[in-house]
Amino acid sequence: MTSQTRPARRWIKSPTWRAILFWVVPAAFLGFFFYQPLLALFRLLVSPDWGFSLVELDWRDLWEPLKFTLFQATLSTLLTLMVGIPGAWLFSHFTFPGKKTLKLLTTLPFILPTVVVAAGFNALLGPRGWVNLGLMALVNLDTPPVQFLNTFGAILVAHVFYNSTIIIRVVSNAWSRQDIRLGQAARVLGASPWCAFREVTLPLLWPSILAGTLLVFLFNFTSFGVILMLGGPQFTTLEVDIYIQALHLLNLPLASILSILQLVCTLGITVIHNRLSTRDELPQTHRSQTIPPRRPTHGWERLVVVILIVTLFTLLVSPLAALAFRSVVKLDPDRGERGDIQQGFTLQYYRELWVNRTGSLFYVAPIEAAKNSLVFALITIALTMVLGLLVAYALRQKTALNQVLDPLMMLPLGASAITLGLGFILFFNRPPFSNFTFPILLPIAHSLVALPFVVRTLAPALQSIPQSLRNAARVLGASPLRVWWEVDLPLMAPSLLVSAIFALTISLGEFGATTFLTRPEYPTLPIAIYRYISQPGALNYGQALAMSTLLMLVCAGGILIMDHFRMPGKDLF
């Protein structure tokens, strides 16, 4: 070996230099497609072209949407805790028929697109929903008696529906891993069941509860589709106000200020959540020492378990069941669908997805929107898998560089999709991106949203591979590429599949950034659902429900696969 090759080999074996090699492409991608658009929001405020001055700003334009955003996010989070913590107790302590199915069904809302959630509540409690149709037929009314849509209650219920699974999953996972001997020791020392819970169980659960609460608050704070589709124009959060100011009023300076304000808030919440998450690691406890799920034995336990099961099913499953059932039921069109006579099952709404009944040259069939969404999703999967693997291998290197770059890579999780979409419009409104006929920015934006989830799935899987397996392969003469092909890739295959499904479902359902970046000739499924459900007519409404049902089934299949292939001891959240 020559004297020139030895320094080169020492250089390539340095963890810091290897981390730099892995970080080059992901850092360049994030720097150009994430941080540059965010900087464009700041540059817009000081640009002389707009003639904008903070002195002329009416601070009520900032305070009013911020105040309502904080209020609805806080109240929604408290209500979510009231549902999620009892649900976590149910799943961590008891076994009952259909437990696994119910847990998967309660997980589905979190991964559903917001337009599907809105369509589900519309099918259940909307003017043409099952509840109103049943009450109108029962008491012979001409108008829907339940006014659910465009109310503050609709926002709160939808947020609880959307985020309860976070508390259930995070808290039940921590609860089930607690050492049962600690509570037993407290009881032996004379503590009552309530005292043992307050002094032993709750302090151990508190980090998980707080981390889950902050995550729920973050999602409620950045909620867009739920507010827009269920709350109505009288309820304006920061997200909705950014959308209105940018796309409807063309007031980009005010939209930029709102985006910066929201970005500061969400990034602060994200930093606190990440710090709490690092402390949320309970010591590994032997399975025989953890809380064993059991059948409810006492009468009060059976009553509470039944109440919780019925509550979870009613709140989290009934809107989805109403959506699927309503998409295959046709009502009497001659009576305007009020107190209507059912004509039975039909697949007309699904068949109409392929038909341009109006013959419009500007019409894009829903099936074309589905194809667009699939193409964007495939590009998103390819981007996130490549970038996610590079970041996972970079994080595997033991170097201080990762302590700086890892948080920077996770920042897209704290930036809202609306802010990201506005930044894209400001920064990429010039060649070459403005000349592309294909909307390549759309899957790039989807990749930025999905990348943190993919990295957090791949990195633990890669770090769990014993180094001894790689060393054994090298001793047997395998090259580095063959070691990766024969050792790393097979062991990471389940996590790669989960990551791909994560990217698929996030891309298929992304609505916030897509509203800014989509083109009329390239609509996605969520955009098509929003357009159809906003238009009058039973056929448009039925097609929106049919598309929502198909999207829901894809997400349901994804959550089943992810739950089946997740790493032992690791939950989806």
* DSSP class per residue in 394-431: HHTS--THHHHHHHHHHGGGTS-HHHHHHHHHHHSSST
Residue 342: phi and psi, rounded to 5, are -70, 140
Looking at the predicted structure, is the pLDDT value of residue 180 above 80? Answer: no
pLDDT tens digits for 368-391? 888 888 899 999 999 999 999 999
What are φ and ψ of residue 343, in 5° steps? -100, 0
- Rounded-to-integer distance, Cα 464 and Cα 492, Å: 9
Q: How confident is the model at residue 362 (pLDDT cuts 50, 70, 90)?
A: very low
pLDDT higher at 16 or 45? 16
Cβ distance 340 to 138 under 8 Å?
A: no
- The pLDDT value recorded for residue 338 is 43
Provide the CB-side half-sphere exposure for 78 (13 A, CA).
5
Q: How far apart are CA 573 and CA 272, in angstroms?
A: 16
230, 150 Cβ separation under 8 angstroms: yes
pLDDT for residue 382: 93
Q: How many CB atoms lie within 10 A of CB 390?
A: 20
Average of per-residue pLDDT across 30-58 = 74
Query: What domains are there in the chain, each with its CATH number?
Result: 1-56+345-573 (1.10.3720.10), 61-227+278-325 (1.10.3720.10)
Give the pLDDT score at 333: 45
pLDDT at 36 over 50: yes
In sequence order, which ranges of 4-59 are alpha helices (DSSP H)? Answer: 5-13, 15-30, 36-46
For residues 246 and 252, give the distance between their C-alpha atoms in angstroms, rounded to a whole number.
5
Q: Which amino acid is located at 480 in the chain?
A: P
Is the pLDDT at 536 greater than 50? The verdict is: yes
Query: What pLDDT, on a 0 to 100 scale, did the predictor assign at position 340?
Result: 45
Mean pLDDT, residues 524-541 taken together: 81
For residue 61, pLDDT over 90 is answered with no
CA distance 33 to 24: 14
Region of 342 (left: φ > 0; alpha: ψ -120 to 50; beta: rest) is: beta
Give me the residue label for tokens 């090759």. 5
pLDDT at site 341 = 45
Are 526 and 510 in contact by the 8 Å Cβ rule? The answer is: yes
Percent of the chain whose predicted confidence (pLDDT) is above 70: 86
Lowest mean pLDDT across 360-374, 408-422, 467-481, 497-511: 360-374
Q: Sorting pLDDT into bands at 50, 70 and 90, what band is 290?
A: low
Question: Residue 336: what pLDDT?
Answer: 45
Distance of alpha carbon 161 from alpha carbon 402, whole angstroms: 36
Rounded CA gap, 542 and 492, in Å?
A: 42
If you ran DSSP here, which 8-state letter would residue 354 be given?
Answer: G
Question: Which tokens is 426 given?
Answer: 């400001």
- Burial label, 227 (beta-carbon count in 10 A; 0-12, 13-18, 19+): buried
| 361 pLDDT tier (thresholds 50, 70, 90) | very low
- Residue 50 banded pLDDT, cuts 50, 70, 90: low
Banded model confidence at residue 72, pLDDT cuts 50, 70, 90: very high
pLDDT computed for residue 381 by the predictor: 93
Structure tokens at 427: 């920064």
Give the integer Cα–Cα distance in Å for 76 and 221: 10
Rounded Cα–Cα distance for residues 348 and 332 (Å)? 14
Q: Hey, is 329 helix, strand or coil?
A: strand
Structure tokens at 64: 């009013």
Q: Regarding predicted confidence, which is higher, 331 or 324?
A: 324
The arithmetic mean of pLDDT across residues 435-451, rounded, is 85
Res 380: pLDDT: 93
- Dist. CA 172–CA 208, nearest whole Å: 9
- Amino acid in the structure at residue 66: L
Q: What is the mean pLDDT of residues 75-91?
A: 92
Amino acid at 427: F
Q: Is residue 5's pLDDT more than 60?
A: no
What is the pLDDT of the chain when averaged over all its residues?
A: 80
According to DSSP, the residues that pair with 94 across neighbouring strands are 294
From residue 104, give the alpha-carbon distance in Å to each of 111, 213, 505: 11, 21, 16
**Band of residue 274 on the pLDDT scale cut at 50, 70, 90:** low
Do residues 168 and 88 make contact, with C-beta atoms less than 8 angstroms apart?
yes
Q: How far apart are CA 412 and CA 405, in angstroms?
A: 13
Structure tokens at 328: 């295959």
- Beta bridge partners, 342, equal 331
Residue 283 has pLDDT above 90, yes or no: no
pLDDT digits (tens, 9 = 90+) for 96-108: 888 888 888 888 8
Work out the average pLDDT over 213-218.
88
Greater confidence, 465 or 359? 465
pLDDT at 324 over 90: no
Highest mean pLDDT: which range of 4-8, 152-156, 477-481: 152-156
**Range with the largest mean pLDDT of 248-257, 446-455, 477-486:** 446-455
Q: Are the beta carbons of 262 and 242 closer than 8 angstroms? A: yes
pLDDT of 320 > 80? The answer is yes
